[in-house]
Structure 1
Amino acid sequence: MDCYIYFKMPDAKAVAVIAEVALLQQRLRALSPELQQTGMALQRRPDLKQGLITWMEIYREVPDNFEAQLRSALQHVDFPELQYAERHAEYFVDVVVCA
């Protein structure tokens, strides 16, 4: 299962967002050995809408207890001060497509 978390922030806070996501992902790796082997990424939309950037955190092959690990890791970063809008998490599973 993969987790995608998106949120919006003012363009002026882009450097702070990148730094906080780096800390968050470092903390998650420390909490979960499984996450050290899977992919983590941070993406952003290429365009601004009303001065806001839409950000996307991507966590591949998350463990069953990922939500608890994420809550714990978030206690060690400054996202609440950076947040313009709520963080939205969505989970997806791979589908085998037969031709």
Structure 2
Amino acid sequence: MDCYVYFKTPEEKSAAVIAEVALLQQRLHALCPELQQAGMALQRRPELKQGLITWMEIYHQVPDNFEALLRSALQHVDFPELQYAERHAEYFVDVVVCA
């Protein structure tokens, strides 16, 4: 299962967002070391909309208790100060497609 978390921030807060996501990912890795091997990433939309950037955190192969781990890790970062809109997490599972 993979987790995708998206949120928006004003463009001028980009450097702070990147720093906070780095701290968040370090904290998640401390709570769940296997996440580092599976992969974590941060992406953003290439365009701005009304001065806002849409960000996407990506966490591959998360454990079933990832939502609780993420809540715990978020207590150690300052996202509420940076966000324009609430964080949204969505989970997806791989589908095997036979040819």
Is contact 1:29-1:36 (8 Å) kept?
yes
Equivalent residue number for residue 24 of structure 1: 24
| Secondary structure of residue in 1 paired with 2:16 | helix
Shift of 1:36: 2.3
Dislocated runs of 4+, deviation >6 Å: none
Residue 32 of structure 2 aligns with an amino acid whose one-letter code is: S
Is contact 1:34-1:63 (8 Å) kept?
no
Task: Return 5+ residue gaps in structure 1 as ranges.
Answer: none
Residue 42 of structure 1 aligns with an amino acid whose one-letter code is: L
Residue 91 of structure 2 aligns with an amino acid whose one-letter code is: Y
Is contact 1:42-1:58 (8 Å) kept?
yes
- Report the identity percentage: 87
In 2, the alpha carbon distance for the partners of 1:36 and 1:57 equals 14
Q: State how 1:1-99 maps to structure 2 within 5 Å.
A: 1-99=1-99
Taking structure 1 as the reference length, the TM-score comes to 0.98
